[in-house]
Amino acid sequence: MDLRRTPVVVVTGFDAVAVDAVASSAQTPGTVVVHHDLVELSLVVITRTIRTADADGVVHRRITRIDLDHGCVSCALREDLLPLLRALHRRDSVERIVLQLDPLIEPDRCAGRSTRWWSPTSRARSTDPQVATCGSRRSSDASTPRRG
């Protein structure tokens, strides 16, 4: 059984530009940035981008379109993300995973539940979630729309 742990950093917030900037700043050799873009959700498609950087700092992107077979975003993300995190953890070249959340995903809910992705008894429990929230508001302000 592999006891090595791969840190997972969750970058989230309401400001897509800030979230992308923070996730990009973490892009170094050994770090994989995973982003599920929900911009085409009305077309029943999620676009997953996996970014890696080689030793020279050149960033490589692998883009995959995921169809929502039964229209549930949560199920589609979970069914794609959990096997992906396990596969990335098994790669010797991966030292850290940065999960860049789409602004449509509620940051507080994801951050609060990130540790529940892994069962304490699961052999695949290989991550320690960490959260970086960008441009977020206090939870008391969450129901108030942002202007301007």
First to last CA, the chain: 52
Task: Give the start-to-end residue ranges of the domains of the chain.
Answer: 6-140
Full-model pTM: 0.72
53-84 per-position pLDDT tens digit: 998 989 999 999 988 877 788 888 888 988 99
How far apart, in whole angstroms, are the C-alpha atoms of residue 68 and residue 76?
6
Identify the sign of the CA torsion 19, 57, 46, 110: negative
| Secondary structure letter of residue 140 according to DSSP | G
Angle at 55 between CA 30 and CA 51, to 5 degrees: 50
112-144 per-position pLDDT tens digit: 544 444 333 333 333 344 444 444 343 333 333
